[in-house]
Every structure is written in C-alpha cells, then in structure tokens.
Structure 1
Amino acid sequence: MTQMTARDIAHAAGIALNTPVTEAERLSGGDLCVVLRLHLGTGGSVVAKSGPAPRVEAKMLTAIRATGVPAPKVLAVSDRVLVLEDLPDDGVLNGSGWRALGAALRRLHGTTGTTYGWPEDYAFGALRIPNAPVADWPGFWAERRLLPKAAALPPPFARRLEALARELPNRLPRTPAPALLHGDLWSGNLLAQRGTFTGLVDPASYHGHGEVDLAMLHLFGTPGPEFAEAYGATEPGCATRRPIYQLWPAIVHVRLFGAGYHGMLDGLLTRCGV
C-alpha cells in the first residue's frame, strides 16, 4: 500500500466519522506514519493517523484502555486510517507524572494473557513484527524478536545474536507471567500535560515479560525516581536481563534507520557477553 498523504488521511477520517473536517495540522513525531490533529465541522478535534495495520492498533489501544490505563479512545477505524480521541499533550512529565506512569504500567503488566504473543502480527512501518505464540518465553524472544531480523544485519551481528539466542533458556525466565505490554514504550509515546501523565499512544502490544517495557523506557531516556517507586520492585536479575531486552529496539532502529545505530547494537551485545 502506498504511503497516505495528510490530505488522504483527513479525507478518510472524515468519511469514517461521517463528519466534515475543517482543518488539519500535522503533529510532531510520526517517524513511520503521518499523524494529524483534525478540527471538525461539528466542533472539537480528533487525532487521525495512517499506519501498517490500523485495525490491529485499534485493538491494542482498546486492550490498554480496558485495564484502566489512560490511552486515547478509538473513535473510528478502517483499513487505512485510525481516528482517536485527542488527549492533552505538551510532552513534559514531572515527578507526579512519572509516579502516575509507574502506577499505570504496573497496572498494565498486572493484566495477563494465557500465552506469549498477540493474535495478529504487526509492523513498524514496513518492518514486520511476528507475534505468533511460542510456549516458553526464551523461545518467543529468540524466535519472534532476535532471530527474524538477524539475517538482514551485517554477518558479525547476526552471529552474535544467534549465539545469544542459544543461551536464552539459561538467561531468561522460562514462564514469566504473560503481561500485557505496550511494546514500544519510549518518551515519544507518552502523553503528558503540565507534568501530568495523560496517556499511552502508538502501541505495538503483545503479551510477554513486563521487563521488556521497562528496558525500552530506559534505553532512550531516564525516568524520574518517582517512576520506580510507583512501579514497585522488579524481579531479581532485572538489570542483567535489561540489555537482552533492549536488543530488540536496537535491531529495529538498525533496520529502519541504518548504520548510525550499529554502535548501540554492538554495545548492547557486548553487555550481553557475546
């Protein structure tokens, strides 16, 4: 499918809502898709976006909201566009906001599934994310995250990932609780207004070890100390497992954005001892 333009998205959203769109403004972010704030002829505004699988993303957001964790309400969805509640956001979390995020993430991870994965595959842009269930967690992390993209990396990276994958049964818990994950938890996907946490957006959800979200959140930033206090205690060995879980977003960044992320991937593999 060809990339939708802002005009395409506004038009498709108006049809999905059966409401005229009077103005469209592009929002920041959206490295892999176009995100717009649309002002409606009936008053108010919504957020509309393209994406690889709008219906799948809608299900993910609905699952997050069902736990009581803030996320935008799905207002309309089609095969081409997702239309969402326009939650307030100025991008800045303060201490109480970090505390609210910690409590929300603990709540999210307390909602568990019956297996690891998600009923449907997903994607970051053109990069497919396989989510088919695997019975044990080390197997899922190897077969659905580390190895599928290894063959497309420079051979030295691929060999190191393959070596690590063989060790995962000894380095990851076999059957941790299959927590509901956001799946792409970094600061750009956290909404905040005047320091207060207002919602999670742009999920790539599946069920897995809750430490995956914590690892991603710490890869590109440093949550305030209030976050850890509110989230609560982590399992023994969390710090040792963190670089293993951070390898997935590093691989994704290499595949999507190129060799500028080779240093990150190399450093994480070294921290993993391979």
Structure 2
Amino acid sequence: MDDILASRLTAVAGSALQRLNSVGGGCIADASVAEFADGQRLFVKTAAGDHDMFVTEANSLRELAGSGVIRVPEVVHAERSMLVLEVIDTSAPAGDFMAVFGRQLARLHRCSSGSYGFFEDNYIGATPQINTPVRPLSDGWPAFYFEYRLLYQLRLAETNGHATGELIHLFNVLESRIDGLLAGSEEPPALLHGDLWSGNYMVAADGAPCLIDPAVYYGHREADLGMTKLFGGFGRGFYEAYEDEFPPAAGAAEREGLYKLYHLLNHLNLFGPSYYGQCVAVLRHYCG
C-alpha cells in the first residue's frame, strides 16, 4: 500500500486506514474500497498524474445530487489525484427497477438551467468535454451540440489521424443541415448525466437506481436517451415509464442517431478505427 495514499485517506476519514481492497478499474483510474479502524468503508478512485478529472467528476455528482430525484454516491473528498465517495452496496434489480429508473431519469431531465453547457469543462471518458454556456435564445442547442460535441470530436479525430476526406465532407454537409435536423425538438436545457450507458448505473442495496461516473452538462434530454440505446442494457419498461412521465417530442426516434454520433466519435478517438464505419454510417444516414 502506498504510504502517501494511506496517510491522505486516514486524514480524509479521520480514522486509521486498515485495508485498501482493489475492485478493479478501467483505463482511466484505479478503484478500491478503503476500510478504516472505526468501521468506515469508502470508495476510492486514484490515478497517476496531475489533472482535474476527479474534481470535475465530483462536481458532476454534486449537481446530480442537488436535483433530489435520483441517487448518486455522496462525495466525501475530491482532489486532483484522488476521489473519495460513499460505498454503494448493490443488490439484484426488482421487477419494477427499470420503470422506477425511467421515471427518475425523466424527473432529472425536468431540472433545467438558463444555458446549455455547464459552469466548467469536464470529461467524457478520458476526453475533455467542452461546456461553454450557450443561451437557448441566442445560438441555441443545434449550435452548442454541433460546435462543442460533434465538431470538437472531429478536430480530435484529425489530430489522431482518423479523419478521412470522407468524414470531413460528411461533416461539412451535416453543418448545413443540423438546424433542420433538430428543428421541432426545442426544449429548455435539461440536466443530463452525459455518459449514460449501462455501465454507469447501479442497483443499490435498497433496490434504488444509482448513477455513477457522470459527465454532467445541461443539454437536450434526447442526448442522454440516445446514449442509453447505443450499447443496450435498458429494458422496455425503462422507456415506457420515461415516456409516460415526460413524453418525447415528435421525431425523437429519427434524431436518435445524431446523439449516438457524439459517443461513437468519442470511441473512435479513444479506441481507434474499429468505430470509424459506424460513424460514417450515421453521417451518411443524415447527409446522404
């Protein structure tokens, strides 16, 4: 066990660290459960280097918690090298879990703000996510989504060597069509999880849905819903309950691919050309 980490955790908990049990982790951070002399258990994320990823994740969790409509782990401590959270013990989902989850997400999406974006930039996976605020009555959601989500990913793809002439051409066409493609879906900015795939929710010990690993901003709620459908893992009951609580705007199904595109481009930049074909297929659908 790293002595400096042990000392930091002891200071955070106010009790001597006894054990640090690894629970794995992804390509971004290592994850452990810390056990202390006074019986406390805390979930700990650590990563090498000096960056603000854990601080921004903590702020995303606090924003979600402030809604009061869906559970997230409580933030105990955040600094540039470490994030300390409440441990969420888990259970098997009850039969109505997806319906409860769908209703709670719909209520989260009714939480609004005066601007698209967020007060700070954060991360989608390991990729910076730009959240420069844009007011709905100025350039609006299509401009925000194209500039700070899609075009930003294209520029990364150019840097990473993934942006072919075909991809750039399709983006040029999409820029001329984005306003029309998103027309009719205008809504106030909604509080979004930002990276809502099936690996980023848990079933808490009491059966409640619990969101983890957010990339929060205020945007169009269809962006969250599009991500839920990219890799699956959300049952029919989830969508039925969501739509009963917060009916979608007309044409939502046709716009779904536009919102998947952001995450496909991010996966192209993070994991390489195996995602290129899916990106081009979505662009051809809207730009062909």
Determine if contact 1:94/1:195 at 8 Å carries over to the other structure: no
Question: Distance between the aligned counterparts of 1:171 and 1:8, measured in 2?
Answer: 53
Does 2:194 align with 1:183? yes
Question: Distance between the aligned counterparts of 2:217 and 2:203, measured in 1?
Answer: 24
Deviation of 1:188 (Å) = 0.6
Does 2:156 align with 1:154? no
Larger mean CA deviation between 218-227 and 120-129 belongs to 120-129
> What 5-or-longer segments of structure 1 have no aligned partner?
none
Structure having the higher Rg: 2
Deviations 1:47-103 (A, max 9, x none): 11136422222121111112121101111122221111111235x545411111101
Question: Distance between the aligned counterparts of 1:6 and 1:245, measured in 2?
Answer: 42
Q: Which residue of 2 aligns with 1:47?
A: 43
RMSD of Structure 2 on Structure 1 (CA)? 2.3
Determine if contact 1:184/1:216 at 8 Å carries over to the other structure: yes
**Residues 22, 47 of structure 1: alpha-carbon distance in 2 compared, 3 angstrom cutoff:** same
Determine if contact 1:96/1:196 at 8 Å carries over to the other structure: no
Deviations 1:187-229 (A, max 9, x none): 1110115793431000000000011111001101142121112
Does 2:216 align with 1:202? no
AA at the equivalent of 2:150: L
Question: Distance between the aligned counterparts of 1:171 and 1:195, measured in 2?
Answer: 42
Question: Distance between the aligned counterparts of 2:67 and 2:59, measured in 1?
Answer: 13
SS at match of 2:56: helix
Does 2:102 align with 1:102? yes
Question: Distance between the aligned counterparts of 2:89 and 2:268, measured in 1?
Answer: 32
Question: Distance between the aligned counterparts of 2:217 and 2:188, measured in 1?
Answer: 12
Determine if contact 2:190/2:221 at 8 Å carries over to the other structure: yes
Deviation of 1:8 (Å) = 6.5
> What 5-or-longer segments of structure 2 have no aligned partner?
none
Deviation of 1:45 (Å) = 1.2
SS at match of 1:27: strand
Determine if contact 1:13/1:82 at 8 Å carries over to the other structure: no
Map 1:6-25 → 2, pairs under 5 A: 12-25=8-21
Deviations 1:154-200 (A, max 9, x none): 22223322321221111114742100000000111101157934310
Deviation of 1:30 (Å) = 2.8
Does 2:179 align with 1:169? yes
Question: Distance between the aligned counterparts of 2:3 and 2:178, measured in 1?
Answer: 47
Deviation of 1:246 (Å) = 0.5
AA at the equivalent of 2:149: R
Match of 2:278 among 242, 264, 271: 264
Question: Distance between the aligned counterparts of 1:268 and 1:30, measured in 2?
Answer: 28
AA at the equivalent of 2:266: V
**Residues 163, 12 of structure 1: alpha-carbon distance in 2 compared, 3 angstrom cutoff:** farther
Question: Distance between the aligned counterparts of 2:239 and 2:85, measured in 1?
Answer: 30
Larger mean CA deviation between 224-233 and 245-254 belongs to 224-233
Map 1:132-143 → 2, pairs under 5 A: 132-135=132-135, 136-143=140-147
Question: Distance between the aligned counterparts of 1:74 and 1:125, measured in 2?
Answer: 19
**Residues 194, 13 of structure 1: alpha-carbon distance in 2 compared, 3 angstrom cutoff:** closer
Q: Which residue of 1 aligns with 2:267?
A: 253
Runs of 4 or more, structure 1, over 6 Å off, are 5-8
Question: Distance between the aligned counterparts of 1:14 and 1:241, measured in 2?
Answer: 49
Identity of aligned residues (%): 30
With the length of structure 1 as denominator, give the TM-score of the two structures: 0.89
AA at the equivalent of 2:238: F
**Residues 216, 125 of structure 1: alpha-carbon distance in 2 compared, 3 angstrom cutoff:** closer
